Structure 1
Amino acid sequence: MQPLTFVKLSDSSACLTFILCSLVLFGDHGGALVTLPQNVIVPAVIAFGDSVVDQGVNNNLKTLVKANFFPYGMDFVPQKSTGRFSNNRTPADMIAEELGIKDLLPAYPDVSHDDKELVTGVSFASGGSGYDPETPKIVDVLSMNDQLTNFKEYIEKLKAIVGEERTKFILANSLIMVVAGSDDLTNTYFAVGIRKLHYDIHSYTNLIVSSASNFTQDIYNLGARRIAVFGAPPLGCLPSQRTLRGGEFRACAKEHNEAAQLYNKKLQQGIEHLNRYHAGSKIVYIDIYKPLLDIIQNPPQYGLEVVDKGCCGTGNIEVAVLCNQYLTTCDDPSKHLFWDSFHLTDKGYSMLINQVVGKYVHEFF
C-alpha cells in the first residue's frame, strides 16, 4: 500500500502548524504512515459494524452473508479468501496500517487466544448487521448488541493480559471505528420493507440514529474515548441499487441517496451532541458520502474507468454468495471503484480512506 497523502484542510495555517509539530510514531510493521502530534500514542484499532469492516467474523456463522470463498481475496497476499468483502483489504486494515499499528486487523474471536493481536486491536463487525435490531435478524448475523457483548469479553481478556490500568489506557487511546447504517436503509427499510408498516423515512432515520447514539454511549461507558462514527455512502449509487432502483439506464437511485443524506445529517447532529457532553472524549462523525460521490462523478480524476458496476460477474447485482468462483471477474480490479455490487475494491477503499484520514485525523488528538 502506498503511503497516504494529506488533502488540503480548510484552514491552511492550522494544517501547517499541525504538520510541523507532528512526528511519526512506532508500529509493528516499521512505523506509522500518517503524522500524529508529539507524544500521542494509538495502541490499537477496534472496529464494530457491518461488512465494510467485517474481517471474517461471519465465516463461522450460519448465514449467506459471507466472503470466505473465491473470488473474494483474489488480490490478498498470499492469495486467500479471508472473509473480507473485497478483492483484498478493508478500511479497517488500511487505517491500522496507516497508524503504524499492524498491517491487518483480525476478526474476533479468531484471535481470542493471541495476546499480541488482542492488545493491538480486533474487529467485531458482522456483515449484514446494522443499528436496527431487526436488520441482523434478516440474514442471521451478529447484532450490534452481540458485538457489544463480545467487546466486553475482549476487555476481560485484555485485563488478564496487561492488567486493568493498561487496559483502560488501551481503550481510551485506541481508535474505535463504528461503521453501520447502510444495511438498515438498503435492506431493512427499502428492500425487505419490514419497517415501512410503522415508519416513514423520517421516523426510521430517527430510530437508527437513536440506536447509533446509544451504541456509541455504550462503548464510551466501557472506556472508549476516540470514536469514529462513519456515515452512510451514497447508497443509491451502489451498483445493486442502480440495478434495482435506477431504471432502464441504471442511474443512481434518488430516493436512496436522499435517505442516506437525511440519515447522515441526523447522525452528525447526534454525534456532535454526544461529543459536547463527554469531557475528554473525541467522538467524530466521518462523512464518506461526499468524497465517495465525488469519485463516482469524476472517475478519470481518480484513475478509474468503471464506477457503476462491480468487478465480479456482470457487476450489476452480485454480492456475497452471488459473487462466486463460477463467475468471471474483470481483468483489472484497479480500474473499478466497486468490487461487487455493494463493496469497493481495494483501490476504491484506499482512495476513500486517503481522503478520510487527511481530513479527520487531527480531530482525534
Structure 2
Amino acid sequence: MGEGIEGAESGGGRRALFVFGDSLVDSGNNNYLPTTARADSSPYGVDYPTHRPTGRFSNGFNLPDLISQHIGCEAALPYLSPEMRGEKLLLGANFASAGVGILNDTGSQFDGILRIFQQFALFKQYQERLSIEVGAEEAQRIVNESLVLITIGSNDFVNNYFYPPNIASARSLQFTIPNFCSYVISEYRKILMKLYELGGRKVLVTGIGPLGCIPSQLAERSIDGQCVAEVQEAARIFNQLLIKMTTELNNHLTSSVFIVANAFQINMDFINQPKKFGFISSKIACCGQGRFNGIGGCSSFSSLCSNRDLFVFWDSFHPSQHAWEIIANYIFNGTTNYMSPMNLTTILAMDSKFY
C-alpha cells in the first residue's frame, strides 16, 4: 500500500503541478489515445533533450515544463503514461489533451480526445490513487498546496466558432462574437469552480493568445499578412471577460485562487516587435507548408527552419520553445498589465514554507 512513500513531503516542500487543457499544454496524453491530434512524430521534439518527439506540440519544452523548472520540480508526467505510478504521483499529473475546448462540441473533428470533464474524472481517479499511496490526509494536502495550470479556450474559436474557414459555422450562426465570448466564459466559470471543488487552491489560468495572428489564421484568412481583425476581436473580448470573471470568483471565494496570465497582451508584445525579443519572424511558422507555413500540421514532409529560436511560432498553431520561455518569464515576473491580480512569483512567495 505505497509504504515506500508513506508520509512523503511532496518533494521536500516543493509543489506538485497539475495541468489541464489543450495542445498548448499536452505533454503526451494524446499519444495514448485513438486520435489524429498528436505530436508523436518528427520533427516535433527536435530541440527536446532527447531530440525525439514526446507528444508535446513544440520543438522542445512547453509551458508546463518551464513552470516546473521555475518552481524547482521535475515535470509531471502525462497521466496516461504507464510510468505514472509510485513516487511519480507526488509530482502531480498532466491531464491535458490536444483538441479540446471549454465547450464539449469543440474539437468534434478529433476523435478520442479527453474532454475537460473527462480530464476532471481522471483527476478524481488520480486523487484516489494518491490516497492509497500516502493516505487521504496527505493526498489532500498535496492537492491543496499544488499549483494548477489550465490552458483552454483557443480551440473554441479556431476549431469551433471560426471553423471551417470561410464557411459559417453552427456557432457563428447561433451567436455574435461578443455573445459567443460571454457564453464561453459562463461555461468556463463552471469549469473553474469545479477545479476549486476538486481541491485546486492556486490556479494559473492562461487567457487565449492573439489567435488572429497565428500562422494558420494568416494562411486561411489574411489577404495581406496582417492579423485577422474579427479573430483578434474575439480573443480580446474573451480575455477581458476572463479577467472580470476570475476577479469576481476570487472576491466570492475571498482568496486569490485564480491568477490570470493575459496571454493576448504577452504575445502581442513580441508579435509587434519580434526583433526586440530576438525573433526574425512573428508570422511564418518554423515547421509547416503553404502560406506562412500555416497550412496543415508539422510533419517530416514539412519545411523546417534551421534555428527554431528565431521564430515565434513552431507550427501553424503553437509557439516555439523560445516563445514559451518568454511567456513563462512574464508569468513569473510580469506586471499587472500582464498578470491579474499579481504575478506567479509574488503569489507563490506568499506561501513562505515553499521557499
Return the alpha-carbon distance in structure 2 between the equivalents of residues 182 and 50 of structure 1.
8
After superposition, the C-alpha distances for 1:272-320 in whole angstroms (9 at most, x for unaligned) are 111111145521121111111010111111111011011113343245x
Quick one: which amino acid aligns to residue 213 of structure 1?
R
After superposition, the C-alpha distances for 1:214-250 in whole angstroms (9 at most, x for unaligned) are 1111111111100111111011010111111111x22
Structure-2-length-normalised TM-score: 0.87
Quick one: which amino acid aligns to residue 109 of structure 1?
L
Q: What's 1:83 paired with?
A: 55
Deviation at 1:137, TM superposition (A): 2.6
Does the 8 A contact of 1:44 with 1:120 survive in 2? yes
Q: What's 1:200 paired with?
A: 176
Return the alpha-carbon distance in structure 1 between the equivalents of residues 295 and 136 of structure 2.
46
Quick one: which amino acid aligns to residue 284 of structure 1?
I
Q: What's 2:207 paired with?
A: 231
Aligned: 1:61 with 2:33: yes
Return the alpha-carbon distance in structure 2 between the equivalents of residues 279 and 355 of structure 1.
25
Aligned: 1:97 with 2:69: yes
**What secondary structure sits across from 1:304 in the alignment?**
coil
Q: What's 1:163 paired with?
A: 135
Aligned: 1:336 with 2:280: no
**What secondary structure sits across from 2:174 in the alignment?**
coil
Q: What's 1:129 paired with?
A: 100
Aligned: 1:285 with 2:260: yes
Quick one: which amino acid aligns to residue 317 of structure 1?
G
Among candidates 243, 266, 270, match of residue 219 of structure 2: 243
Does the 8 A contact of 1:172 with 1:225 survive in 2? yes
Deviation at 1:60, TM superposition (A): 2.0
Quick one: which amino acid aligns to residue 245 of structure 1?
R
Return the alpha-carbon distance in structure 2 between the equivalents of residues 252 and 115 of structure 1.
47
Return the alpha-carbon distance in structure 2 between the equivalents of residues 297 and 42 of structure 1.
37
**What secondary structure sits across from 1:47 in the alignment?**
strand
Q: What's 2:339 paired with?
A: none
Deviation at 1:99, TM superposition (A): 0.3
Q: What's 1:346 paired with?
A: 321
Return the alpha-carbon distance in structure 1 between the equivalents of residues 239 and 20 of structure 2.
18
Q: What's 2:80 paired with?
A: 109
Return the alpha-carbon distance in structure 1 between the equivalents of residues 130 and 139 of structure 2.
6
Aligned: 1:215 with 2:186: no
Deviation at 1:42, TM superposition (A): 4.4
Among candidates 333, 344, 353, match of residue 358 of structure 1: 333
Quick one: which amino acid aligns to residue 247 of structure 2?
E
Does the 8 A contact of 2:250 with 2:257 survive in 1? yes
Unaligned runs of 5+ in 2: 1-8, 335-342, 351-355
Does the 8 A contact of 1:304 with 1:335 survive in 2? yes
Quick one: which amino acid aligns to residue 294 of structure 2?
I
Regions of 4+ moved over 6 Å: none
Deviation at 1:211, TM superposition (A): 1.5
**What secondary structure sits across from 2:156 in the alignment?**
helix
Return the alpha-carbon distance in structure 2 between the equivalents of residues 124 and 230 of structure 1.
16
Return the alpha-carbon distance in structure 2 between the equivalents of residues 49 and 128 of structure 1.
9
CA spacing shift, 1:27–1:217, aligned 2, 3 Å:
closer
Deviation at 1:27, TM superposition (A): 9.9
Deviation at 1:143, TM superposition (A): 0.8
Does the 8 A contact of 1:27 with 1:100 survive in 2? no
CA spacing shift, 1:163–1:281, aligned 2, 3 Å:
farther
**Mapping of residues 25-64 of structure 1, within 5 Å:** 41-64=13-36
Return the alpha-carbon distance in structure 2 between the equivalents of residues 257 and 42 of structure 1.
38
Quick one: which amino acid aligns to residue 78 of structure 2?
A
Aligned: 1:172 with 2:147: no
Among candidates 294, 307, 310, match of residue 317 of structure 1: 294
Return the alpha-carbon distance in structure 2 between the equivalents of residues 230 and 313 of structure 1.
26
Does the 8 A contact of 1:175 with 1:226 survive in 2? yes
After superposition, the C-alpha distances for 1:310-342 in whole angstroms (9 at most, x for unaligned) are 1113343245xx311122311111111110011
* Aligned-residue identity in percent: 31
Does the 8 A contact of 2:10 with 2:16 survive in 1? no
**What secondary structure sits across from 1:326 in the alignment?**
coil
Quick one: which amino acid aligns to residue 358 of structure 1?
N
CA spacing shift, 1:111–1:118, aligned 2, 3 Å:
farther
Return the alpha-carbon distance in structure 2 between the equivalents of residues 51 and 311 of structure 1.
17
Deviation at 1:159, TM superposition (A): 0.7
What RMSD in Å do the two structures reach over aligned CA positions? 1.8
